[in-house]
Structure 1
Amino acid sequence: MASQLQNRIVGSVILIALAVIILPELFDGKPQQQQESFEAIPLQPEVEVAEVPAKSVPQQEELPDSLEKIETLEIDADDAPAIKTAQKSTPDAPSNAELQQPGWIIQLGVFRNQASVDRLVKELRAAGYPAYREVVQTADGPRNKLLVGPGLVKEELEADLPKLRELTDLNGRVFRYEP
């Protein structure tokens, strides 16, 4: 009978010790938030261009007979066929001009599969959003962030969240972006 009492006492002491150690950590009142850091893309270094002396430039060789027989056709602007203008494609990442001032960015998710992120980036760009991916290193290996932006007005990006949800079925969040 003494061993049952001893077992109960030892078990009670262990539970009380765990409660004294763990409960203060749970109720310390500090919310745990994961803070993401963004790094600015470094500017391209200035490089001096040296002029090449005229003597070292190779002389133009004669063209082969097959190329000399090709005729060129000159067309005036009125006779030329119309050229379809393509929409300006967005860059893979924000340009240096966009990174000069703080703003806001939408993160739609972090994915392991790079191909699926690239597919989503193409879909978002086709819909007119400045989407790109950013590779980050985590404890589990490299991950791909799907990002839209940056933008200077938080409310404009928040207004885009429902449209982005329709396109991608992803719940995005707006984050502060510091260059």
Structure 2
Amino acid sequence: MAGRDSESDSFSQCPEGAPRRLNDGVKQRIVGALVLAALAVIFLPSLFDREGARYIDVTSQIPAPPDITPITIAEPQPVENVEPAPPVNEVFQPDYVEQAGPAPESVSSSPDGTASSKSEKTSDAVAKAEPAKPETKPEPAPELQMPAEETQLDDQGLPEGWVVQVGAYKEVASADRVRNQLMDAGFRAYTRAVDTPKGRLVRVFVGPKLSRVDAQSDKQKLDKLLKTQTLILRYRA
């Protein structure tokens, strides 16, 4: 009983702040251990990497030089018994060799030589012949002019004309539009209204021309311009 009383007296004599100080020391140790562990996690991999980076491969990637056998070239030796070259001022002249041409074959083998004498006379005559005079070109014959086409007269004694019918339209506006188009293109165009079994139509004409040839020329131009087939008619006043 005396021992228990002494223990209780010793606990009763401890200051009140002792348990709190013990808890603070434990916390500080735990925090220090965590800091050390974090530092180890950060710096240990870098240390290992440094050791790996220090390793350098010293193996050479350059291929070995090939074995080349040296070739010895003999030095040129002077040639003996060679004539010296001629001076520059002297011109080289090749030796001229006269070649005799083949003898001409005789035209005939007559014993009296009649053919040979004739050939000699012919050659002498050609040599003595005078130079030929330049040929005079005949003057070109004058071109024959075709008579102009006669102008035909109608019953009233007036010259007849020819016109080119471009087309016939039911609407006056369409006919006027085509006429204006032709006049802009340089043609002499006009319209005329006529009564037909199909109704009243407005025809577009180009002309008149005194010659059918002139009307035919206008027809070809109009066919090409309008891409259609026009008609050549007699002009009626």
TM-score, structure 1 as length reference? 0.42
Choose between structure 1 and 2: higher strand proportion: 1
Taking structure 2 as the reference length, the TM-score comes to 0.32
